[in-house]
Amino acid sequence: MEKKGKILILDDDPVVTLSCKRILGAEGYNITTVDKGDAALNKLAKEDFDLFISDVMLPDISGMEVLKEARIIKPKTDVVIITGYPKLEDAKEASRLGAQQYLEKPFTPDFMINVAKKVFDKRGWILRQTFIDEFRDSVVPLREQENPIIFYKEGTWARPFKDGLWEMGCDLRYWLLSGALTYVDFIKGMDKVEAGKAFANIYTSTGTSIDLLSPMSGDLREINTKVNDVMAALLKDHMSEGWLLWLARVFPLEGME
């Protein structure tokens, strides 16, 4: 089985470490276990780990102190704190020190798997930040959204943007199921959009043209002139699942159709 990443587990209860080793090891993670805080810090100093899972109550040193030192020794290693005695103060302190999660024991196997998956998914997301930085003004990262996204017909969507403007665009995940995409072409000479009417077209590699329908009526204030460059990069690197493309910014005259 292909190893997904290295995880260091610190807990003085052999039942917990064995359980985590079995659960996460079966998922393909490379697991190392230790039962003392000093041993964990020594491991972190000598080896690189993707994830560090630590108990709070330890025989030699506080788990919170271990977390603090771990963040200094290996600041790029994600940390998850587990405890059988959860305290609000500890949860706040763990968050302040940079822990990704603060979990109460006992936990089910599925719960632990989901926690690890969430951390590693986030790591993969961070590795893609260079792409987002390059096209920051042209894409909508799904995992950074605060405003609601309203999905409309035929792979289009809209969301509140700022200063009364709304963004609308296309969901590449939808169009990937329809065949290879070539480019997006805006309807020339438009200064207004009408709900349910085409405001742009998507072209496939076969030359097929598909209308993109506007989710709202309004004044067209801006179009995304880099959309085809961004789309080509997304499809080339197989990263379309994490982003939406905005195509136009509109000042709405009416609500959604």
Q: What is the CATH topology of the domain spanning 6-127?
A: Rossmann fold (3.40.50)
* Strand pairing report for 101-104 and 78-83: parallel
Q: How many CB atoms lie within 10 A of CB 164?
A: 11
DSSP-based three-state secondary structure for 233: helix
pLDDT in tens, 39-68: 999 999 999 998 899 999 898 888 899 999
The confidence score (pLDDT) of residue 11 equals 92
Question: 224, 169 in Cβ contact below 8 A?
Answer: yes
Where is pLDDT greater, at 172 or 244? 244
Least confident range from 45-59, 63-77, 105-119, 153-167: namely: 105-119
**Is residue 36 predicted with pLDDT exceeding 90?**
yes
Where is pLDDT greater, at 78 or 172? 78
| Element spanning 234, H or E | helix 227-236
**Is residue 70 predicted with pLDDT exceeding 90?**
yes
* Candidate ranges 116-120, 192-196, 232-236; pick with highest mean pLDDT: 192-196
What residues does each domain of the chain span? 6-127, 133-252
Q: How many CB atoms lie within 10 A of CB 47?
A: 11
Assigned token pair, 187? 């309807």
Q: What is the pTM of this model?
A: 0.49
For residues 111-129, one letter each, b for 16 or more C-beta atoms within 10 angstroms of the residue's C-beta and e for the rest, the string is ebbebbeebbeeeeeeeee
Mean pLDDT over residues 113-130, rounded? Answer: 67
The confidence score (pLDDT) of residue 132 equals 61
Where is pLDDT greater, at 138 or 46? 46
Mean pLDDT over residues 167-181, rounded? Answer: 70
Question: 82, 103 in Cβ contact below 8 A?
Answer: yes
The confidence score (pLDDT) of residue 26 equals 87
Q: How many CB atoms lie within 10 A of CB 28?
A: 11
The confidence score (pLDDT) of residue 95 equals 79
Residue 255 pLDDT level (bands cut at 50, 70, 90): very low
Q: Residue 120: which residues within 8 A CB-CB, separation 6 or more?
A: 4, 5, 50, 51
CATH number, span 133-252:
2.40.50.100
Residue 17's Cβ-count burial label (10 Å; 0-12, 13-18, 19+) is buried
